[in-house]
Amino acid sequence: MTIEVLRAGIFTTIQDKGRYGYQGAGIPVAGAMDLFALQVANRLVGNDLNKGALEMTLQGPTLKFHKTTMIAITGADMTATIEGKPLPQWVNIPIPKGSIINFGPVQKGCRTYLAISNGFNLPSKMGSTSTYVRGAIGGFQGRALKKGDILPLHDYSDIKGIGLRALDPRETPQYTSNLEIEVIEGPQKEYFTDEAWQIFLSQPYSLTTEANRMGYPLEPLNHKALTRKIKKEMLSDATALGAIQVPPHGKPIILMADRQTTGGYPKIATVISAHMTRLAQAQPQPNHIITFIKSDLKRAHQLAREQQKVIEEKILTGEKGKNAWLEQALLQRGQVKAQFKQIKDSVEDIYEVSWTKERVISKEAVSYPEQFIFMN
């Protein structure tokens, strides 16, 4: 079972939740930038939440499937198509052998995830299949994908009982160009003046074109640098996901998935974990604005629990899954959500959908809305 890369996209890698336990040896965690989108995609196809998936940045690949399988597409909208017909996101979709899926340029957001039932058949490196390109570790040959790559898959899992799955449409992330990001005070906040802290919270920022999986350099749109009151150099200490360090030039840098394991710049704040998924979908555009809001640990923990609850409890199955599957598809076709009930009531007349039509996959019969698998 394989997938052939016909076109690689700008930067496509295999990522899971990351490589933990080796930062003391200088090995970064890596892992998916948008852990929410990764985990939802895995839930939709019946995988463990930590299973490796494709992470596509800004422009996606073209892939040929040499075996029937089941997929889920989450994250940014890259207008994925099969035979020129759009595929819905945040749902599971059976893909017949020989199918070619094309991912275009991103519409909103930055990163798209493609999970495949039972995942990629790749060796685990230090407990993870995540790709860390700078160290040539993990993933497919330790690098981003390129044209001609053949990606091995595990044997297709038994899908009996999976059926239609869809994220509750009310929980689908909305990617915007104006991001409000909550932060808690950083471990070296006292290095900065009170004025610098107020500037940090009130000044809008944009990502520079140097933003990548390692870090997000920020451009202050009011052109105000963050000044320090403690000038002495600090000893390097451990870095955390979402830590915001400030070099001598006074422009913040947010540390992301491929961050270095230690750093010597003072850290004024840390992004709460639930909002890292928002940052993962930010584009390096001057009109994409980031502002910071002061939060606290209690709220950070609450939002993290709520986000995990969505992953665990808001993947709908059965009759609810069928309704959510249809609604996700209709919303992506530009339908107004308020029209959903009216459309659903007459869906078989409009789209000639038969919910009971069986599509045989891996010798298992599963009911899918045929017309929405390859949407007109």
Neighbours of 26 (CB within 10 A): 10
Pairing of strands 215-220, 205-207: antiparallel
Helix (H) or strand (E) holding 351: helix 347-351
123, with CB counted inside 10 A (0-12, 13-18, 19+), is: exposed
Cβ burial 42-70 (10 Å sphere, 16+ → b, else e): bbbbbbebbbbbbbbbbbbbbbebebbbb
- Report pLDDT for 233: 86
Long-range Cβ pairs for the range 191-196 (8 Å, 24+) = 191/228, 191/229, 191/230, 191/234, 191/266, 191/268, 192/226, 192/227, 192/228, 192/229, 192/246, 192/266, 192/268, 193/227, 193/228, 193/229, 195/227, 196/226, 196/227, 196/228, 196/250, 196/268
Question: Rounded to the nearest 5 degrees, what angle is found at the Cα of 138, between the Cα atoms of 149 and 133?
Answer: 80
pLDDT under 70: residue ranges of the chain:
156-162, 330-376
Take residue 78 and report the two structure tokens written for it.
Answer: 């890259």
Q: What is the pLDDT of residue 361?
A: 39
pLDDT at 332: 66
- Which pLDDT score, from 0 to 100, does residue 158 have? 58
Beta-bridge partners for 111: 57
Whole-structure pTM value: 0.89
Condensed to tens digits (0 to 9), the pLDDT of residues 245-299 reads 999 999 999 999 999 999 999 999 999 999 999 999 999 999 999 999 999 999 9
CATH architecture of the domain formed by 178-295 = Beta Barrel (2.40)
Please give the distance of CA 170 from its chain centroid, rounded to a whole number.
18
**How confident is the model at residue 226, as a pLDDT?**
97
Q: Could you give the dihedral angle defined by the CA atoms of residues 289, 272, 106 and 72, in that order, rounded to the nearest 10 degrees?
A: -160
What pLDDT score was predicted for residue 163? 76
From CA 313, how far away is CA 347, in angstroms rounded?
27
The domain spans of the chain are 2-171, 178-295
- Please give the DSSP secondary-structure letter assigned to residue 201: H
